[in-house]
Amino acid sequence: MNNYNGIEKPEIQTLPTMKDRISFLYVEKAVLNRNDGAITVTDARGTVNIPSASLGILLLGPGTKISHRAIELIGDSGTSVVWVGERGVRYYAHGRPLTSSSRLLVRQAELVSNVRSRIEVARKMYQKRFPNEDVSLLTMQQLRGREGARVRAVYRNESKRTGVVWNGREYNPHNFENSDVVNMALSAAHACLYGVAHSVIVAMGCSPGLGFIHTGHERSFVYDIADLYKAEITIPIAFEVAAENPSDISSITRRRVRDAIFDGRLLKDMVSDLRELLLENDSEDNELGVDILNLWDDKKGSVPHAISYGKEDEYEDQELMEDGYGTILEDEE
C-alpha cells in the first residue's frame, strides 16, 4: 500500500480559537475538495481556497458535493459541518460539533436537571424578550402568561400594520393548507427559523432535546432558542407575505426569511445568546476550544485520563491474598 503523503493532523493547541475563526460560511451549488490545509470551493465563478482552520461552521446548501479528503481535513481542524436548505434555512443533518469540548453540553445538562437553575435560565430567556421588564421573581406560570400576552400584542400590531385580518394562531401541523394565509405563512417562517436554530445548537455541541421552557421533544431546546427571535423576524415577515397573498405561500415566505438572515447577524446573535444563557462568565468561553478528555469522579469532579488507576489497590489486594494463602497453608501443616 502506498504511503499517505498528506499533511499531518494539527495539534489542538495550534488551531485558532473560536473567537478568531469565521463564524459561519454558507456554500451552495459548488464542489468542495482539499488542497493541503485548505478547502477548495469550486463553482461557476471559479475556485477559492479557504484555510480549514479558519472556519467555525460550514453550512452546506443545495447542490454541494464534498469529497472524503475535504471532510477529513474539516474534522481534523475542529470545524463543524451542517447540511442545510437554501441559504442556511432548514436543518437536515450535521457532522461533529464545532467544539471538541463537552463543556456547553455538560453545563446545559446541569442547568436543566436542577429546578432552581432551570427556572433561572428560563427567566433569562424571557428577559431577552422583555428587556424593559423585571422578570427575576416571576414563576413559570407568570412567565408563560406574560409571554402569551406579549405575543398576542405582536400579532395585533402586525395585523394593524399590514392590514391582514388576524383571528388567532390556528394550524394543523399535519395539514399545512388547512388554515388561513397568515397562519400558513407563520408556519413556513417558523419552520425556517427552527432549522437555523437547530444548526447553531448542534454546531455548538449542545443538545437539541434538553429544553428549559419546552420539554419532552427531541427539539425542545430548538424551540426555546427560536422563540427569542420570532417577534423580530418571522412574525413580521409572515404578515407581510400574507398581505401580498401570493400563490406559493411556503416558497415566498422561505425566501423572505432567507434574505432576512443572509447577513449572518442572526447566527452570531444565536451563538452569543447560547453562551450567555449557559455559561456563567466569559472566562469559561476559552474552555470550549480545548481538547480535554477526563474521567468523571464522584468526589473530585474529574481526574486525568490515560492513567492506570488502581495500582495501589491491586498491590494491597495481592498482599492480602498472599497473607491469606500463607495462613491457610500454616493451618494445614
Q: How confident is residue 1, by pLDDT bands cut at 50, 70 and 90?
A: very low
- pLDDT over 50 at 4, yes or no: no
Q: How confident is the model over 123-146, as a mean pLDDT? A: 90
3-state SS of 73-139 is HHHHCCCEEEEECHHHCCEEEECCCCCCCCHHHHHHHHHHHCHHHHHHHHHHHHHHHCCCCCCCCCC
Residue-wise pLDDT for 249-298, tens only, equals 888 998 899 888 877 688 888 988 999 999 876 444 444 443 444 556 55
Q: Give the per-residue pLDDT at 52.
A: 78
Report whether pLDDT(97) > 50. yes
The residues, ordered by sequence, that sit 6+ positions from 276 with a Cβ below 8 Å of its Cβ are 124
- Are 52 and 39 in contact by the 8 Å Cβ rule? The answer is yes
Residue 224 — very low, low, confident or very high, per pLDDT cuts 50/70/90? very high
**Which pLDDT band, with edges at 50, 70 and 90, does 302 fall under?**
low
Q: How many CB atoms lie within 10 A of CB 306?
A: 7
pLDDT digits (tens, 9 = 90+) for 66-89: 999 999 988 887 777 888 888 777
Say whether 227 counts as a known binding-site residue.
yes
Q: Is residue 174 annotated as involved in ligand binding?
A: no
- Region of poorest pLDDT, from 25-39, 50-64, 123-137, 279-293: 279-293
The percentage of residues in the chain with a pLDDT greater than 90, rounded to a whole number, is 40
* pLDDT for the residue 303: 59
Pair 252, 227: CB distance under 8 Å: no
Where in the chain do CATH 3.100.10.20 domains reside? 12-84
In this structure, of 18-27, 117-126, 201-210, the range with the lowest mean pLDDT score is: 18-27
Q: Which CATH code fits 12-84?
A: 3.100.10.20
Please report which helix (H) or strand (E) contains residue 10, including its range.
none
Structure confidence at residue 319 (pLDDT): 52
| pLDDT over 50 (residue 125) | yes
Query: What is the per-residue pLDDT across 226-252, written as a single tens digit (0 to 9) for each?
Result: 999 999 999 999 999 999 999 888 889
Cβ atoms of residues 190 and 219 within 8 Å: no
Query: What Rg value do the Cα atoms of the chain yield, rounded?
Result: 26
159-211 pLDDT, tens digit each: 999 999 999 888 776 666 778 899 999 999 998 899 888 888 988 889 999 99
Q: What is the pLDDT of residue 48?
A: 92
Contact 85, 92 (CB under 8 A): yes
For residue 116, pLDDT over 80 is answered with: yes
The pLDDT of 135-149, averaged and rounded, is: 91
Return mean pLDDT, the chain: 80
Q: What grid cell was written down for 8?
A: 499531518
Contact 248, 188 (CB under 8 A): no
- Give me the residue label for grid cell 495501589: 312
CATH number belonging to the domain at 103-287, selected among 3.40.50.2020, 1.20.120.920, 3.40.50.1110, 1.10.10.60: 1.20.120.920
Task: For residue 214, say whether it is annotated as part of any ligand binding site.
Answer: yes
All CATH 1.20.120.920 domain ranges in the chain, comma separated: 103-287
Size of the chain in residues:
333
The pLDDT confidence band at residue 15, using thresholds 50, 70 and 90, is: very low
- Residue 304: predicted pLDDT: 57
